[in-house]
Structure 1
Amino acid sequence: MRPKADGAWHLHQHTRDLDAFVLFSSISWNVGTPGAANYAAANGFLEALALHRHGMQGLRAELLGLPAGEREPRLTTALAQQISRIFAMPVDRLAHDVGLTDLGMDSLLAGQIRIMLAKHLEIDFPTMGLMRGPTIAELAAAALARMLGETSGTATASAPRG
């Protein structure tokens, strides 16, 4: 964490009149990455620094994360890791294209997933959206939409599975 944070802070302190001040972050700050807490914390620092430059000093700062095409697949993987813990099953046995209700999710597990989404992604995802039985991939798409403020982000199952 220290090299990334120290480098960004050093550049911040020594640059004032720029056309651009670009920071590269990662979605790991929002979803967590097992075994990489320092990396996630450093990315959180970059987000805070960008806000500091904008709000406190009116300086330019652009925060670039993952390219748009990589966000959803990475979020799908991260959600699968978190959901596998909630379901107490190995992540490699958790199909991304099978509805969560078909994997055995009940209202209690849906509540735990909702809490996990609130904790790691800071979104308020409706339990009923989960109970519709989205796949992990559909849930990732809906969660990402909510995080970006694009839609209501309510996951829907495309068709009854069975």
Structure 2
Amino acid sequence: MTDERMGDALVPALLRLPPGSGVVFRHYSFGARERRALFAQVRRIARARGLVLVIARPAHIGRGHGVHGTVKGHGLRTWPAHDRREAVAGARAGAALLFVSPVHPTRSHPSAPALGIARAAAIGQGLGVRLIALGGMTPQRFRAARALGFYGWAAIDALT
């Protein structure tokens, strides 16, 4: 997940991701020109490194492999799920991945109560959509998440 707070750490973080990893391009607060320019840079890195790139709102800045949330577009669809209602909406919208969050306390959303790993897993249970754990995740915490059916994990702060 890209975020404005990453600043100059964004490119080094992208360069450390293993091939096949995904990037959800956000940077919501940037102006249109600045956001398009950064997206073009991220897209070049993603192509060179074999990363999957999806765009969060608005999607008119360029093309990636897909879109995140309610953004109109083609390709892979990912979806945020903070509760069961959002998870069901994502499944109905054809999402391939649900980003369930916040699993653990996180600096990026300090006022959001953490779900805990068991409750987070229950949010997407039985929907036939792969779950990605987000919020306070580390490689060690992912081991417990994987045991409960999570397909992968995502981060913002853990990458910087």
Task: Report the TM-score when normalising by structure 1.
Answer: 0.26
Q: TM-score, normalising length from structure 2?
A: 0.26
Higher helix proportion, which one?
1
Select the structure with the greater relative contact order (CA < 8 A; seq sep ≥ 6).
1
Which is strand-richer, 1 or 2? 2
